[in-house]
Amino acid sequence: NRLAGAADLHDIRHLARRRAPRLVFDYVDGAAENEVALERSVKAFRRVEFLPRVLCDVGEVSLATSVLGREIAMPVILGPTGFTRMMHRDGEKAVARAAARAGLPYTLSTMGTTTAADLTCAAPGGWNWFQLYVARDRERSRAALDMARDAGMDVLVVTVDVPVAGARLRDVRHGMTLPPRLRWRSALQAARHPAWWFDFLTSEPLTFASMGGSDLAGITGRMFDPSVTFADLEWMRSIWNGRLLVKGVQRVDDAVKLVAAGVDGIVVSNHGGRQLDRATTPLELLPQVVAEVGDRAEVYLDGGVRSGADVAAAVALGARACFVGRAYLYGLMAGGEAGVDRVLHLLEAELRRTVQLLGGTLDPSVARLRP
Ligand code: FNR
């Protein structure tokens, strides 16, 4: 079938573009303003030069690694993405099940369209994490954490690069609302993608439908608190006794402050280029953050990962593991749960082959960034 014929994630992305309406595909594929941060984050992986070690007996290599003290199948974490039921009616549940099957953690977003309890029921064997945006109403955040904890989630990822929403111009141009509404602007799209609209309109309304259809910037501004500071991190530490990662770190000095504040890990990320355009390129900042705090906290890379070879490069340059966002969403749009399975299979096969060709180990001596 079409999924099996996809040779890499670029092929999967093309399938996604054909299957999903333009405004849904662009919500996933797009980024902020001129999309420079996204372009740089992806292109940075082209700067990687591998230095393979020969004659190493790579007949059998293990891709397993440990994060936060627990073993996972390979250094890949499925990151948080909002409104996932818009990409496919099975949404977060499909992604969590595929992640569980692959032995990888999955992170449910605050903007998720499936509850924490429903998610862990759907993917009982999985390691499910929770991502938090701090709400203006702190009790709302506390309640979200309680729900995550009650559902068995033990890792909290606090995203700190969204004090306000970035300007996603593709969404603005489409006049996109969340959830999407069928109206004259999207009617042509609907005619081209009837299967998607049928699924969407006949499945359970998105949880966020209660917010009455609005643009993302409006939802973000109403719900999330732009006045959050390091002091709030202490509050979070006091009400969450599981592991805590901070996602969206883009400076070495911030990483140092966060580690001093007692976080377990840092996710070097510019939100996939969806927030501040021209922000730091994660792969380029990564080695500096690792050099500074890598002995005291786990450092993760997020942004621009489109292949298993990208994962290998990031790990060689010091990342404990990579978060992926669009990679699995392309799969979800292309073919639901089977599409996510295909993406994770491709990432695994590419990573395995790369590790073997590199001589079996991922350390700083096997990769460098060309100027
Ligand atoms: C995101 N991302 C995100 N991050 C977060 O902390 N909470 C969220 O709700 C979302 N929502 C979201 C939706 C969509 C459609 C995308 C593409 C991304 C950011 C995400 O977790 C991650 O940082 C980026 O996706 C990483 O870049 P790549 O892997 O997509 O290049």
pLDDT tens digits, 174-191: 888 887 776 666 677 677
pLDDT tens digits, 83-124: 999 999 999 999 999 999 999 999 999 999 999 999 999 999
Q: Is residue 193 flagged as an active site residue?
A: no
Half-sphere exposure of 201 (CA within 13 A, CB side): 10
Half-sphere exposure of 131 (CA within 13 A, CB side): 25
- Distance from chain centroid for Cα 45: 17
Nearest CA to ligand 1 atom 20: 325
C-alpha 336/C-alpha 351 separation (Å) is 23
- Using a 6 Å cutoff on CB, does residue 111 contact ligand 1? yes
Q: Supply the pTM of this predicted model.
A: 0.96
Angle, vertex CA 157, rays to CA 155 and CA 158, nearest 5 = 140
Tokens of residue 194, six digits: 């009837």
Distance in Å, CA 45 to ligand 1 centroid: 18
**Long-range contacts at 136-145 (CB < 8 A, ≥ 24 apart):** 136/222, 136/223, 136/224, 136/225, 138/235, 142/239, 144/110, 145/239, 145/240
ipTM of the complex: 0.99
Contact status, residue 242 vs residue 155, Cβ threshold 8 Å: yes
Average predicted confidence (pLDDT) for the chain = 94
Most informative mutation of 271, 324, 347 for ligand 1 (most atoms within 8 A of CB):
271
- Using a 6 Å cutoff on CB, does residue 28 contact ligand 1? yes
- Which of 110, 107, 135 lies closest to 120 in space, CA to CA? 107
Most informative mutation of 81, 111, 267, 324 for ligand 1 (most atoms within 8 A of CB):
81
What is residue 214's DSSP assignment? B
How do the pLDDT tens digits run along the chain, 371 residues long? Answer: 899 999 999 999 999 999 999 999 999 999 999 999 999 999 999 999 999 999 999 999 999 999 999 999 999 999 999 999 999 999 999 999 999 999 999 999 999 999 999 999 999 999 999 999 999 999 999 999 999 999 999 999 999 999 999 999 999 998 888 877 766 666 776 778 888 888 888 888 775 533 445 788 888 888 889 999 999 999 999 999 999 999 999 999 999 999 999 999 999 999 999 999 999 999 999 999 999 999 999 999 999 999 999 999 999 999 999 999 999 999 999 999 999 999 999 999 999 999 999 999 999 999 999 99
- Using a 6 Å cutoff on CB, does residue 37 contact ligand 1? no
Contact status, residue 302 vs residue 269, Cβ threshold 8 Å: yes
C-alpha 41/C-alpha 305 separation (Å) is 8
Amino acid at 39: E
- Using a 6 Å cutoff on CB, does residue 331 contact ligand 1? no
